[in-house]
Structure 1
Amino acid sequence: MFLFENYYYLIIWLQAICAFHCIRKGNQQKWIWLIVFLPLVGCLVYIFTEMINRNQLQGVQSGISSTINPSGKIRKLEDRLKFSNTFNNKITLADAYLELGRTDEAITIYEQSLTGAFTENEHVLSKLINAYYEKERFSDIVTIARKIYNQLKFARSREHMIYALALEQTGDIAKADKEFKMMNGSFSYYEHRYQYGLFLERNEKIEEARLLFEEITEEETHLSAQERRMNRKWFNLVKEQLKVTA
């Protein structure tokens, strides 16, 4: 009975939305009777033909296709680049390579694209930082990061965190610590702060690391359910690290 009542109210709700939409659009002569007398079918047909446009449907279909068959997406992007060798087509393909773990191929395209007007392209340089990190090319990260260091987006970006880690790996511990401190803001950037805690542990600042991890754990209790879900991975890792250092 409970399920039936909820189903009933759901249908009424759908009918109300569709009826309001079709009257506002002036489509009532064509649709209103279908919505009223075939409530579920009529509402679904109306939603997919009148409320969701063709571009949106194509976007959903494209996303599903890319998830199920990523190699098909790559082939399409490769064909598009062969047909039109533009900067945008190159970078779109490189981004797809990077997403699929074909990092060397992505790096090749990114590096070849840094010419002319695109020598300092922020998107390409940011992607290169991530790609170099996967390949542990820490010196290259430091060089590239300095080119976009003063960009507004860089200050709290993941690329800034990678830059700090690269500084540590290349021996500049003091500079790495300074960069991590710049990203250590409360109630935000939990991946950055988790990595900072690990950095502190690696450099024998165990008590500082513990205090940071405890601060993050305390902050979790004050966040909304959505914020906790978004950062669950880092909260779990922080708790595991606290157990290790207890």
Structure 2
Amino acid sequence: MSFVFLLSLTLQVACAIHVIRSGRPLYWIWLILIGSYLAVLVYTVIAIIPDLRHDPRGRNAASKATNMIDPQRRRRELQRQLELSNTVDNRRHLAEECLQQGDYVNAQELYQDLLSGSMYATDPHFMEGLAQAQVGNENYADARATLDALIKANPNYRSNDMQLLYARCLEELGETEAALEKYEVLADSYPGEEGRFRYGSLLGRSERRAEARSVFQNQLRRAELMPRYYRRKEQAWLKAARLELSRLGES
């Protein structure tokens, strides 16, 4: 059985399944089976592509594919929007995109610009964004000062990411015990595995190996009870936890 035939059969079956699931007239199945590649192409253009455009999952998949092919595309669009209209929202969107892409230098400049106006001088979201950029630039003392100012100006503001940033600053600035206290809280409260991993990792580097092993073991046991999508989303931190546990050795 040739590869060409197998490929044609696979595409025909996939299109036939789409016909049934989308509720289209069943005569499409006969046309697809008779017309082979040509019918598959026609059906794809007429039915599948329009459906993907209206399906949120299809749009998300297309967006991810576009970002993989051209990761700078969204940033260029945001830059053009900012050039057309220098609004707070446009600067914020560009700053967030810079953060996401790891361009912390430009992100820091944008957030500093956003905070320079009197109206947004103590905006907690902008201050947290600035602290994230400063941490990315390894300016930990500046980031801590930004977070201290944020807390002072916005005492009721609550953010797990802000708490994690603060703990990282303390760790990098050598205030290990204070960092461990914050990480211990985040190990239970942070939505995701980063807080638990950073807590166990710092315990290990502080020669508290038994406690570190316990944190990583509990982390991995807990992750096994979570849904598959959660483990997939947190796989980088879970992999890092396994490596740290292996490095620490058996108790």
Question: Is residue 95 from structure 1 mapped to residue 96 from structure 2 by the alignment?
Answer: yes
- Give me the identity figure in percent: 22
Q: Which amino acid aligns with 1:14?
A: H
RMSD between aligned alpha carbons? Answer: 3.6
- Specify the alignment match of 2:19 in structure 1: 15
Alignment match, 2:36: none
| Cα deviation 1:21-67 (Å, max 9, x = unaligned) | xxxxxxxxxxx587465455447513433673499988876654443
Separation of aligned partners in 1, 2:146 and 2:156: 12
Cα distance, 1:92 vs. partner?
1.9
Compared with structure 1, are the counterparts of its residues 118 and 37 closer, same or farther at alpha carbon in structure 2 (3 Å cutoff)?
farther
Report the Cα distance in structure 2 between the residues aligned to 1:79 and 1:8, rounded to whole angstroms.
43
Question: How many residue pairs were aligned?
Answer: 231
Give distance in 2, aligned partners of 1:51 and 1:245: 48
AA paired with 1:230? K
Structure 2: any 5+ residue segments left out of the alignment? Answer: 33-39
Relative to 1, partners in 2 of residues 1:86 and 1:57: Cα closer, same or farther, differing over 3 Å? Answer: farther
Question: Which region of structure 1 is more displaced relative to structure 2, 235-244 or 6-15?
Answer: 6-15
Task: Tell me the equivalent position of 1:145.
Answer: 147
CA shift in 2, pair 1:226/1:187, >3 Å: farther
Q: Tell me the TM-score normalized by structure 1.
A: 0.75
Distance in 2, Cα, partners of 1:14 & 1:53: 15
The answer on whether the counterparts of 2:96 and 2:107 sit within 8 Å (CA) in structure 1 is yes
Q: Distance between the aligned counterparts of 1:55 and 1:217, measured in 2?
A: 32
Q: How far apart, in 2, do the equivalents of 1:94 and 1:188 lie?
A: 23
Counterpart CA distance in 2 for 1:82 and 1:61 is 27
User: What's the offset of the Cα at 1:105?
Assistant: 1.5
- Work out the CA distance in 2 between the residues paired with 1:195 and 1:110: 26
Unaligned runs of 5+ in 1: 21-31
Classify 1:92/1:65 alpha carbon distance in 2 versus 1 (closer, same or farther; 3 Å).
Answer: same
Counterpart of 2:131 in structure 1 is: 129
Residue 220 (structure 1) aligned to one of 214, 219, 223 = 223
Q: Cα distance 1:13–1:74, how it changes in 2: closer, same or farther (>3 A)?
A: closer
Partners of 1:37 and 1:82 lie apart in 2 by 53
Kindly indicate whether the alpha-carbon contact (under 8 Å) linking 1:34 and 1:42 is maintained by their aligned counterparts in 2: no
Match of 2:199 among 172, 196, 199: 196
| Cα distance in 2, alignment partners of residues 198 and 13 from structure 1 | 49
Contact 1:200 1:209 in 2 (8 A): yes
